[in-house]
């Protein structure tokens, strides 16, 4: 028909190609950094630690940047799944037992079919800057943060202000997240429907008894287990 624009066939695969390029780049660069530098060993020791830390910090920040157009295009659950898996986390969908871990094998099909019910962020690089992806998720019942170097008080404060999570979240585990302090843990009292909370290996908590007392008063129906010695 006259005036009808032809769709560019390359545009539909641009995002996939771009992400695959990022993953390949990340993998190859990590391999490069891990190789011995031979006669330049001393120089590598002096500079590589700071350089690698800065590089991966920058790359992880890129992975956590929120793409609001993507949320509109594919829906909040699909967009959040892409973010979480891109950062090394895994998700479980409502009605499914299997945890989805492979970004390249994210399910396709009707957007309403795959609703995130569980999030396992163990050893992932998720940051608070990416938490906008969680705002419109309505079915998340369990979240696990374990050995997450970027999870800090600001993340928990952001998490607890999400109205949908206040209604749906029932199970939360926070384990070996060294940047979390009493301030962040106390904000969990906003999660009104929480039924199970496990806190372990959190050296940033200095007033354990006082913090736990606040939570137990605010969440009488929640089973709180701790291993903070």
- The residue ranges of DSSP E strands in the chain, in sequence order, are 90-93, 99-100, 116-120, 142-146, 171-175, 196-200, 223-227
CATH number, domain containing residue 73? 3.80.10.10
| DSSP secondary structure string for all residues of 19-83 | HHHHHHHHHHHHHHHHS--GGGHHHHHHHHHHHHHHHHHHHHHHHT---HHHHHHH-HHHHHHHH
Q: What is the pLDDT of residues 130-168, one digit of tens each?
A: 999 999 999 999 999 999 999 999 999 999 999 999 999
| Partners of 196 in beta bridges | 171, 223
Q: Does 143 fall in a domain?
A: yes
User: How does DSSP classify residue 115?
Assistant: -
Contact criterion met (CB below 8 Å) for 129 and 66: yes
Cα angle vertex 152, ends 147, 157, to 5°?
Answer: 130
Q: Does 78 fall in a domain?
A: yes
Q: By residue range, what is the domain housing residue 171?
A: 64-227
Rounded Cα gap, residues 180 and 150, in angstroms: 9
- pLDDT for 12 equals 42
Q: Does 208 fall in a domain?
A: yes
User: How does DSSP classify residue 109?
Assistant: S
Q: Does 32 fall in a domain?
A: no
How many structural domains compose the chain?
1
At residue 111 the predicted structure's pLDDT band, cuts being 50, 70 and 90, is confident
At residue 39 the predicted structure's pLDDT band, cuts being 50, 70 and 90, is very low
- pLDDT for 109 equals 80
């Amino acid at each position: 028909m006259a005036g009808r624009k032809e769709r560019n066939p390359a545009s539909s695969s641009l995002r996939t190609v771009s992400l695959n390029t990022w993953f390949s780049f990340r993998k190859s660069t990590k391999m490069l950094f891990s190789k011995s530098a031979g006669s330049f060993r001393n120089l590598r020791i002096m500079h590589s630690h700071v350089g690698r830390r800065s590089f991966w910090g920058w790359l992880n920040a890129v992975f956590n940047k929120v793409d609001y157009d993507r949320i509109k295009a594919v829906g909040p659950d699909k967009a959040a799944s892409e973010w979480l898996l891109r950062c090394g986390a895994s998700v479980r969908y409502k009605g499914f037992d299997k945890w989805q871990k492979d970004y390249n094998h994210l399910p396709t099909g009707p957007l309403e079919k795959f609703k995130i019910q569980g999030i396992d962020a163990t050893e992932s690089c998720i940051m608070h800057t990416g938490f906008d992806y969680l705002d419109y998720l309505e079915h998340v019942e369990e979240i696990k943060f374990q050995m997450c170097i970027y999870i800090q008080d600001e993340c928990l404060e952001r998490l607890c202000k999400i109205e949908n999570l206040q209604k749906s979240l029932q199970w939360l585990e926070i384990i070996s997240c060294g940047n979390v302090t009493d301030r962040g843990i106390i904000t969990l009292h906003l999660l009104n429907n929480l039924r199970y909370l496990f806190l372990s290996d959190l050296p940033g908590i200095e007033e354990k008894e006082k913090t736990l007392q606040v939570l137990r008063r605010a969440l009488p129906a929640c089973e709180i287990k701790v291993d903070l010695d």
